[in-house]
Structure 1
Amino acid sequence: MSNIADFPKPTLVSVNGVVLEVFEAGQRNKGNPIVLCHGWPEQAFSWRHQMPALAAAGFHVIVPNQRGYGQSSRPEQVTDYDISHLTGDLVALLDHFGYDDAVFVGHDWGANVVWSMAQLHPDRVSRIISLALPYQARTPKPWIEFMEEFFGPDNYFVHFNRQPGVADAVLDQNTAQFLRNLYRKAVPPAPPEAGMMMINLAQAEAPLGEPILGEAELAVYVAAFEATGFTGSINWYRNMDRNWHILADVDPIIRKPALMIYGEHDMIPKSENLADFVPNVEVVSLDCGHWIQQEMAAETTHAILAWLAG
């Protein structure tokens, strides 16, 4: 509960043609920036456990609600959510604070953006920490096409692209139920249900497993998405193939020092060849599911600080 009361008040910052809602800690540590990038469907609030510890360790902690989320801008154009725009926002955020580069930390979709930062703007990145999502090497054909062949039309990445607006409407109608059912741990293994996973979760009346959020924490997410709807955040998925083209001629090797933090019980598989693409990577696995920094907050913070200190 104290985390909610203690969470910093935001500043609205105009960068890269949008307004971003930015939360900070450790402003006294000017000159030592670390930028934390949330995933889907999260908020800057997802980093509430890590922010005070990073500030205490001497970092200027900068945590945006990225475009499509919270009080940040939600452009109408789907293409305004491609990887050029998402990384461009972070570059402009560094410019706003007067920083040449920063440590970038990302979870889930935020990790995807951070890996891409190191490819598209390597001079603005000092080190990378990725949670849940390992570096994704380019597939032989565009990602959604590839996933459709591999996983079929009900895969939620594919569905978001091929049936625009359908899932958005279901999630918007069932926001509280969807988020309650999603933010769980220790979900018993079961064969996948027919249909689209995220729509199924939004419509399921009884959640599985155990909650990872208290009621007051869950209410923060519910209020945020009830205010914005889900379309802006889902538009990130609708640029997967566009991103595939944008990254076509970019060096696929990430040369920055990197820390990869996996949840042992995450549905996202570990990379079997991560070091081939990220030669300076260290790997840590925690005994948790997908919502790593909220499920095992202290252990995540310890792993991050230990690696940064090393």
Structure 2
Amino acid sequence: MINGMEAARFGVAHLDRIALHYAEMGPEDGPLIILLHGFPDTCLGWGKQMPILAKAGFRVIAPDQRGYGVSGKPRGVKAYDLDELAEDIVALGAHFGETRLRVVGHDWGASVAWWLSSTRPERMEKAAMINAPHPAIWKQAMYADKTQRKKSRYVKAMRMRVLPEMAIRCRNFGPFIKTLKAASREGVFDGEIEAYRKAWSEPRALTSMLHWYRALLKKELPKAPGRIETPVLLIWGEKDEFADVSLARQSIALCERGGTLFFADGSHWVHREEAQPINDMLITFLQSDQDM
């Protein structure tokens, strides 16, 4: 079992729109927290957060988002549009009896949390985002910002069909494993690598995961995103090799009620590296009835 996930309960939420596999910890009558992983992660990437949040009394649900692991994998790029991804989480919350959501997201999971906060504010109680800017700011910077253009070259490469899948699969997912190992000074365990490789090898999983990027590249996003009223906590490792820290500052500037936690030596995987202070801040933020 992955470190930190020994006590997890696993299940499948059969929603009207899709089936989502999930890990769960904590009391069933506790306040619901939904943790959203990024690319190329799965629910298992929250091993340093789930036990701590559960111990604090939360009911913690970490789904494999659509396209990942054994969750549903609809065909076609349009199925991975941000609106579809966001509605999955609204439906997942309703499945567990919550109409107002507290969401924590990393990477693409944070993009979904940003999009929920922008487009479905009536369904959002609070949102914490880890190392991902608002998707509209991210996409604009891919083309307009010199530093971010360089950091986002891999995203534009995803536009091609079939070839990225072939390159990744023929190397036995080596690029994904290298990213996880190199981008985090915390590293990953051998057991984790095998679990990830199994998840990536599920039928249609790799193409579905890449479709998240392809859908973003096709989507028309506002050049000037509106103000966000949802209370937001933005956590950021400043040595992120995929997103420039300037995008973090632009994103939090959108928020009416926003707080930040920056780590000068943190990488893209800062929630693994700085788990204790991040968990402490998440608990304070998510438990508090007051805004940031």
- Relative to the length of structure 2, the TM-score reads 0.86
1:294 corresponds in structure 2 to 272
**Counterpart code for 1:261:** I
Does residue 262 of structure 1 match 2:260? Answer: no
Distance in 2, matches of 1:135 and 1:69, equals: 22
Q: Taking structure 1 as reference, are residues 274 and 211 closer, same or farther at Cα in structure 2, changes over 3 Å only?
A: closer
- Secondary structure, counterpart of 1:283 in structure 2: strand
Measured after TM superposition, the shift of residue 50 of structure 1 is 0.7
Gaps of 5+ in 1: 188-208
Instruction: Give the conservation status (yes or no) of the 8 Å contact 1:46–1:293.
Output: no
Q: Taking structure 1 as reference, are residues 16 and 113 closer, same or farther at Cα in structure 2, changes over 3 Å only?
A: farther
Distance in 1, matches of 2:195 and 2:7, equals: 11
1:5-28: CA deviation from partner (whole Å, max 9, x where unpaired): 605242112224211101111143
1:178 corresponds in structure 2 to 175
Distance in 2, matches of 1:5 and 1:36, equals: 14
Does residue 243 of structure 1 match 2:219? Answer: yes
Matches within 5 A, 1:50-199: 50-138=49-137, 151=149, 155-161=153-159, 163-185=160-182
Q: Taking structure 1 as reference, are residues 77 and 26 closer, same or farther at Cα in structure 2, changes over 3 Å only?
A: same
Q: Taking structure 1 as reference, are residues 164 and 110 closer, same or farther at Cα in structure 2, changes over 3 Å only?
A: same
Gaps of 5+ in 2: none
Selected match of 1:274 from 251, 264, 282:
251
1:242-295: CA deviation from partner (whole Å, max 9, x where unpaired): 4335x68x9621111111111121121123333431131111112321112222
Instruction: Give the conservation status (yes or no) of the 8 Å contact 1:143–1:241.
Output: no
1:42 corresponds in structure 2 to 41
Distance in 2, matches of 1:177 and 1:241, equals: 24
- Superposition RMSD in Å: 2.9
Distance in 1, matches of 2:145 and 2:169, equals: 25
Deviates more, 1:107-116 or 1:296-305: 296-305
Instruction: Give the conservation status (yes or no) of the 8 Å contact 2:27–2:57.
Output: no
Instruction: Give the conservation status (yes or no) of the 8 Å contact 1:142–1:241.
Output: no
Selected match of 1:222 from 192, 197, 200:
197
Deviates more, 1:176-185 or 1:50-59: 176-185
Measured after TM superposition, the shift of residue 177 of structure 1 is 2.2
- Secondary structure, counterpart of 1:272 in structure 2: helix
1:82-115: CA deviation from partner (whole Å, max 9, x where unpaired): 0111011111111111211121110001100000
Selected match of 2:187 from 212, 215, 220:
212
Distance in 1, matches of 2:42 and 2:219, equals: 22
Measured after TM superposition, the shift of residue 301 of structure 1 is 1.3
Q: Taking structure 1 as reference, are residues 5 and 61 closer, same or farther at Cα in structure 2, changes over 3 Å only?
A: closer
1:194 corresponds in structure 2 to none
Distance in 2, matches of 1:291 and 1:298, equals: 14
1:283 corresponds in structure 2 to 260
Distance in 2, matches of 1:292 and 1:160, equals: 25
**Counterpart code for 2:8:** P
Instruction: Give the conservation status (yes or no) of the 8 Å contact 2:90–2:99.
Output: no
Instruction: Give the conservation status (yes or no) of the 8 Å contact 1:39–1:107.
Output: yes
**Counterpart code for 2:10:** P
1:303 corresponds in structure 2 to 281
Measured after TM superposition, the shift of residue 34 of structure 1 is 0.7
Q: Taking structure 1 as reference, are residues 259 and 210 closer, same or farther at Cα in structure 2, changes over 3 Å only?
A: closer
Larger radius of gyration: 1
Measured after TM superposition, the shift of residue 144 of structure 1 is 7.0
- Secondary structure, counterpart of 1:237 in structure 2: helix
- Secondary structure, counterpart of 2:249 in structure 1: coil
Deviates more, 1:269-278 or 1:73-82: 269-278
Does residue 231 of structure 1 match 2:207? Answer: yes
Instruction: Give the conservation status (yes or no) of the 8 Å contact 2:7–2:25.
Output: no
1:202 corresponds in structure 2 to none
Deviates more, 1:114-123 or 1:9-18: 9-18
Distance in 1, matches of 2:131 and 2:137, equals: 18
Measured after TM superposition, the shift of residue 143 of structure 1 is 7.7
Distance in 1, matches of 2:287 and 2:92, equals: 25
Percent identity, aligned pairs only?
27
Measured after TM superposition, the shift of residue 226 of structure 1 is 2.1
